[in-house]
Amino acid sequence: MTRTWADMAAFESFLDDGGIVEVDDHMPDEYRQAVFAFIEMHANSELMGGLTERDWIPRTPGLRHKMSVLAKTQDEIGHGHLLYMVAADMQIKTREEMLEDLFAGKSRFHNVFHYQAVTWGDQVAIAFLVDAAALASQQAVFKNCSYGPYRRILKRIISEEGFHMRLGEDRMMRIAQGTDTQKEIFQGALDRWFWPALQLFGPDSKPDDVLLRWHIKSERNEVLRDKWVQKFVPMLQSYGFTVPAPDLSYDEEAGKWDVGPIDWEPLKRTLAQGGPDSARRINEAKDNWERTRWVRDAMDRAATVPA
């Protein structure tokens, strides 16, 4: 019931021909490890993002927005469920092991969840800028992803992330048409979130990036990052906000924006769990897992109770 390949060259030629790998195939171990690590980081990021979103349910202004934050929280946690299942099926770590590693600070999640959201403006900036960056990355994976179970689950995730991005734009437009104080709050948030959102795409892809070679990613990091810059710089400016890039320039001839040199140190710090809010976030996620243990225990006990 499984497919096998004679060697890596045969496997890569299968992938180059558009082949889709399924969970019960004898995929090369390097491929299994690389795809697993990628999905695990995605799953962790959904969980960490969902917990942040949850923190904002009581603090979100207005019932309409509050309800949309509820829906978004459920989406993010739901994406975590779907992705941990796909990752666990690769039989490298169980779901429990993945969560233990996350809470022990041993595994990665996206840089943007290593910062604290201080004001409602931050939540607007996250939904508008960060969700768009995450969606662009996910779309570039979905487009040509060689690992079937991940590709199929991404389809569902992407459609829901689109909802989050539209919410973000809606909130941003409202705040842009608001009072001077509201505009100041959003500008402050923009100053905090513009660079982390841009850094989400990562540094330029290396020529030997296996994720590109094995058709997990279909686009280079720098290409996705540049598309995001070309879309969001003029959009933010058109709403009257200042892009916090001192070296920002516009090339008339190429018709393109350039944000200037990018400092990658903040990204590296977050990947080593050394971001401004990493420790608190990880501890909070761990505490949450402990606080909700009784729910999981009750569900497990349901299996042993006679009907």
Partner 1 sequence: MHTYEIFLKKDGRDEYRHAGALDAATDDLAMVMARESYIRRAEGDRLWLVRRDHVIVADPDLIAPNADKPHRHHDGSAVAARRKAMRNEGASS
For binding to partner 1 (CB under 8 A), which residues are involved?
1, 3, 24, 71, 74-75, 78, 81-82, 85-86, 89, 95, 152-153, 156, 160, 299-303
| Burial classification of residue 58, based on how many CB atoms lie within 10 Å of its CB (0-12 exposed, 13-18 middle, 19 or more buried) | exposed
Task: Give the nearest distance from C-beta 195 to partner 1 in angstroms.
Answer: 33
Using alpha carbons, list the distances in angstroms from residue 168 to 106, 111, 173, 200, 216.
31, 19, 9, 17, 28
Using alpha carbons, list the distances in angstroms from residue 234 to 115, 134, 190, 237, 240.
25, 19, 14, 5, 10
- 237 or 292: whose CB is closer to partner 1? 292
Task: Give the nearest distance from C-beta 44 to partner 1 in angstroms.
Answer: 18
- 78 or 188: whose CB is closer to partner 1? 78
Q: How far is residue 146's CA from residue 215's CA, in Å, rounded to a whole number? A: 5
| Burial classification of residue 4, based on how many CB atoms lie within 10 Å of its CB (0-12 exposed, 13-18 middle, 19 or more buried) | exposed
- 37 or 70: whose CB is closer to partner 1? 70
Taking the CB of residue 73, how many other CB atoms lie within 10 A of it?
19
- 1 or 63: whose CB is closer to partner 1? 1
Task: Give the nearest distance from C-beta 96 to partner 1 in angstroms.
Answer: 11
Task: Give the nearest distance from C-beta 284 to partner 1 in angstroms.
Answer: 23
- 162 or 188: whose CB is closer to partner 1? 162
Task: Give the nearest distance from C-beta 128 to partner 1 in angstroms.
Answer: 22
Task: Give the nearest distance from C-beta 149 to partner 1 in angstroms.
Answer: 8
User: Do residues 52 and 117 make contact, with C-beta atoms less than 8 angstroms apart?
Assistant: yes
Using alpha carbons, list the distances in angstroms from residue 46 to 208, 220, 241, 262, 270.
28, 22, 29, 26, 16
- 156 or 256: whose CB is closer to partner 1? 156
